[in-house]
């Protein structure tokens, strides 16, 4: 799904394959090279105070709710990453590695304000209700 499509599911709960609730979908992390959603930020923990991650391509919509084949523990035990617009290269490597995915830094960036080699950027939602 594109970022526009994910927007309609913001605030929905994410469940694992057994039907156990993991947390609430809150954020999309885009791959700056492709522009496609790579990971989703999921609010977990007491009152949703923590942000965990799940690969976007592992999430499907089933019967009106978001479902992943990853377990609740697998999602909740993602590396601790401080929320900012861009993840650091080390954070990206840990995140990709946690899900057993190959990580390749991106070095073809034209924006000097963005750290070289990082791929993932937090997508900022703009609410149209204001």
Task: Dump pLDDT digits (tens) for 57-88.
Answer: 999 999 889 999 999 999 999 998 876 777 88
Q: Over 60: is that where the pLDDT of 24 sits? A: yes
**Claim: this prediction has a pTM higher than 0.85:** no
Of the pLDDT bands very low, low, confident and very high (cuts 50, 70, 90), residue 10 is confident
Instruction: Name the residue among 92, 81, 96, 82 with its Cα closest to residue 115.
Output: 92
| pLDDT score at 8 | 86
Which residues touch 11 (CB under 8 Å, ≥6 apart)? 24, 25, 26
- How many Å apart are CA 12 and CA 56, to the nearest integer? 14
> What's the fold here for domain 3-122?
Photosynthetic Reaction Center; Chain H, domain 2 (3.90.50)
Domain residues of the chain, as ranges? 3-122
CB atoms within 10 A of CB 126: 7
**Cβ(118)–Cβ(87) under 8 Å?**
yes
- Read off the pLDDT of each residue in 95-120 and give the average, rounded to a whole number: 75
Cα-Cα-Cα-Cα dihedral sign, residues 96, 52, 10, 99: positive
């Amino acid at each position: 799904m594109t970022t526009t499509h994910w927007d309609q599911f913001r605030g929905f709960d994410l469940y694992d394959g057994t039907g156990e609730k993991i947390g609430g979908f809150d954020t999309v992390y885009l791959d700056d090279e492709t522009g496609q959603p790579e990971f989703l930020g999921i609010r977990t923990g007491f009152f949703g105070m923590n942000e965990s991650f799940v690969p976007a391509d592992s999430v499907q919509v089933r019967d009106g709710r978001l479902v992943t084949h990853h377990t609740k523990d697998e999602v909740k035990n993602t590396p601790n990453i401080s929320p900012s617009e861009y993840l650091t290269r080390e954070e990206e490597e840990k995140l990709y590695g946690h899900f057993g995915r190959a990580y390749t830094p991106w070095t073809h960036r034209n924006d000097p304000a963005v750290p070289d080699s990082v791929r993932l950027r937090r997508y900022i939602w703009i609410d149209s209700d204001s």
